[in-house]
Chain A
Amino acid sequence: MIRLNKVSLCLGNAGPSSSVQFHLPSFEVEEGEAVALTGPSGCGKSTLLNLTAGLLRADKGEVQVAGVNLADLSPAQMDRHRGSHCGMVFQSFHLLAPFTAIENVCIGLRFGCRKRLNLQERAAEVLSRVGLEDRMHARPDQLSVGERQRVAIARAMVSGASILLADEPTGSLDPETGGEIFKLLREVANENDRTLLMVTHDETLAAKMPRTFDCSGLFRSERINLEEETAAR
C-alpha cells in the first residue's frame, strides 16, 4: 500500500557548508495496517507523512502509494491522487472557518471524490458516523476542539480514501478527548480496512497501535562537498 525505498530529501541548509538531509532507507505499510510514527520533535515524522501524502517530493528514491510511483505524477495529478487516496487529519484541525461542519465535509468530498454524488447526503451520513448529527450546521468557531477534530476525521474519510494520514491528531486535545478521537480514528480505519499512518508524541497511544515506527535519526546534517557539486554541475 505504502512503500518508500531509499528516499532522500534536502530540507535546506544548516550552515554555510552543511545541509539538512532526510534519509529513509526503507519503509513499508500494508493495506489495512495501522502504524504509529514516533520519535522526538523534528526527527522527521511529519516529513515522512508529507512524503506519503505527496505534499513533499523526494529528491531521490521511490515513494509508492496505492500502487502509484509519486515521482511519475505531475503536480495536478499528485493533487488528484492525494484527494482520492489519502484523507488527512491535522493537529490544528484545519477546518475552513467560513463554512459549517457539513460544508467542510462537502468540500472534502467535492475535491477528493470527483464522482457525481449527492454531497449533502453523503456528508451528513459521515458526520452522523462520527457522532455529530446534531452539530452539522455549526461553524468551526461554534464547535468544541473535540468536535472540530471529529469534523476533520469525517472530512478525511468522506471521499472513501483508503489511507488515513493523521499528523498528531490528539496533540491539541485534553487526554480524555484525545483518547476518544484516537478510538474514533481506529474505528473508522478498521471499518473499511483503511490504512492508518499516525504521527504521535503520546507514547500511551502509540503503544495501543499494532505497529510503531521510530523516526529517530531520519534527519542528519551533511557537509556539502563543494567540489562534487561543482563537478556535478
Chain B
Amino acid sequence: MSFLTMAWRYLQFRWLVSLLTISGIAIGVALVCAVLALREESRKALSRDAGLYDLVVGGKGSPLQLVLASVYHLDSPTGNLPYSDYQKILRDPRVFWAAPVGLGDNYSGYRIVGTEAQFFDLPDRSGKPFFRLAHGQVFRDRFEVVLGSQVASSTNLEIGDLFFGTHGLVEVAGAEVHRDFPYQVSGILAPTGTAQDRAIFGTLSSVWEIHETEDRLHSAIQGSALLQGRKERETTAILIRLKTPGLRLWMADEIREGTDGIAAVPINEILRFQQGIIGPVQRVLLIVAAAVVAVACLTVLITLYQAAERRRRDIAILRSLGALPSEVAMLVFTEGLLLTAGGILFGLLLGHGGLAATALAFQEATGLMLDPWRIPVTELIALAIMGMSGATASLFPAIFSYRRTPIHDLRLSE
C-alpha cells in the first residue's frame, strides 16, 4: 500500500474537512487564475484592436479619448475635422491605408460608424484580411450597412432588414429617431474578437445626409435662416495604417502642426491606459487573491496540524508496526500535497470555468473576445508558487509527526 493510497484514505475518512480545505485553496487559486488570465486576455484583445492602426487623427482633445471613441467605440469623440484633411492624408505617399470615421447615431446602443468601403480592405499585421464577411456584401449604396457579428447576434437583424438609427452615441429613452432614413443590412461580418464586432458600418455620406437634412429642418422650424450654401463636410476621426510603423511619431507631429486636430498612436495610448488605470486595479485584485491563497495555505497547515495532532495515536501505531519517523512524516506530507494539488486543480477549473461562463457577458460589455481556457505563463508561475506554498505549509505538520515519540501516544484512546 503506497503513501499516496494511505494519504488518500485518510483524506477520504475526514472528507468534510478535506473538502473545506480544498475549497479554500480553490477559491484563492481561482481568483488568481481569473485575474491573471483576464489581464493577459484583455491585454491581447485590446492590442488586437490598437495594433490595427498606426495613427488615429481627430479633433483636439484627449488622445486616449480619441482612441477609445474611434477604435473601441466606447468614449465620446473629441471633435470633428474637415473631410479635406482626410483627403490630404490619403494622398500622402507614406500612408498605406486610411479610412474616415463619422459618428453621431446608434441603433440599440450600437454605434453607426460612417466610413468608406476600403475600411474593410485593411489587412491584419500578418497580411491576412482582418474583416471577413459571414453573410451578404459590403455596402455599395447610401444607407446600406454592414453589421458587426455581435450586433447581428443580439439584434437578430438579417440581410435585407431595415432599421432606423437614433440620434446620439448611446441608447437614451426619448432620443430622436431618424425615421426618414431607414438603413438596410447588406452584410454581416464574421467575429473578429475585437470592438469592431459591436459596431454598424455604413457610408459616411449617409451620416452626412441624415444630419444635414435634420439641421435644415430644425432651422426651418425654429424660423432661423436657411443654411447658406453647404457647410464644409466633416469627419469625426481618420484611421491610418502607414507603410512603415516607424514613421508614426514623425507623421503624428506633422499632423498636429498641419491640421487643427491631434494624432494619437493607439497602441501607445492603450498601453498607457492599461498601465495607468487597469494595471493598478488588477494589482489590487492580485494582492487580494494572493492574500486568499496565503490564508488557504495557512488553512492547509492548520488542517494538517490538527489532523496530525488528532492522529497521534495512529502515528504511534504505525511506528509500533515498524514505520520509520521519515515514513510517517512522508505520509502527512503526502496528505498536504494532495490537498494542495486538489485545491489548485479545482481552482484552475473554477477560475477558467468562471471566465468561460462570463466570457459572453464580458464580450457584450466590452466587445473583447476572451479565450477563457488559455493559461498564460504568468499564471503557470503563480500556480507553481502556490504549489510550493502548499508544500511548505505541509512540511510543518510532517515535522511534528516526525518528532513524536510513539510510546506516550499509544496510550491514547480511539
Contacts and interface: CB of A to CB of B under 8 A. Distances in A.
A112 B320 contact: no
A64 interface: no
Contacts of A88: 320-321
B308 to A, nearest CB: 14
B62 interface: no
Nearest to B326: A76
Interface residues of A, number: 29
A83 B323 contact: yes
A107 B1 contact: yes
B20 interface: no
State the main secondary structure of chain B at its contact with A. Answer: helix
A96 B322 contact: no
B325 A111 contact: no
B413 A92 contact: yes
B212 to A, nearest CB: 83
State the main secondary structure of chain A at its contact with B. Answer: helix
B313 interface: yes
Contact of A111 (B10, B12, B321, B410): B321
Interface stretch (A13-21, A97-105, A190-198): A97-105
Contacts of A55: 320, 406-407, 410
A61 to B, nearest CB: 18
Interface in A64-93: 75-76, 79-80, 82-84, 88, 90, 92
B320 A82 contact: yes
A84 B314 CA distance: 19
Given A88-B320, A96-B317, A56 B13 contact: no
A186 to B, nearest CB: 22
Nearest to A90: B410
Nearest to A113: B322
A50 B322 CA distance: 14
A92 B411 CA distance: 9
B383 interface: no
Interface string B190-222: 000000000000000000000000000000000
Interface string B376-414: 000000000000000000000000000000110010011
A50 B414 CA distance: 20
B324 A79 contact: yes
B322 A83 contact: yes
A82 B322 contact: yes
B413 A79 contact: no
Contacts of B407: 50, 55-56
B325 A98 contact: no
Nearest to A95: B317
B321 A98 contact: no
A169 interface: no
18 contacts: A50-B407, A53-B320, A55-B410, A79-B322, A79-B323, A82-B320, A82-B322, A83-B321, A83-B323, A84-B322, A92-B413, A94-B317, A96-B317, A97-B414, A99-B6, A107-B6, A111-B322, A155-B321
Shortest 6 CB-CB contacts between residues of A and residues of B: A83-B322, A98-B13, A111-B322, A111-B323, A55-B407, A111-B321
Interface of A: 50, 53, 55-56, 75-76, 79-80, 82-84, 88, 90, 92, 94, 96-99, 103, 106-108, 110-112, 119, 155, 159
Given A88-B321, A106-B1, A119-B1, 19 more contacts: A55-B406, A55-B410, A56-B407, A80-B322, A88-B320, A94-B317, A94-B320, A94-B410, A98-B10, A99-B6, A99-B9, A103-B9, A107-B6, A107-B318, A107-B321, A110-B1, A111-B318, A111-B321, A155-B321
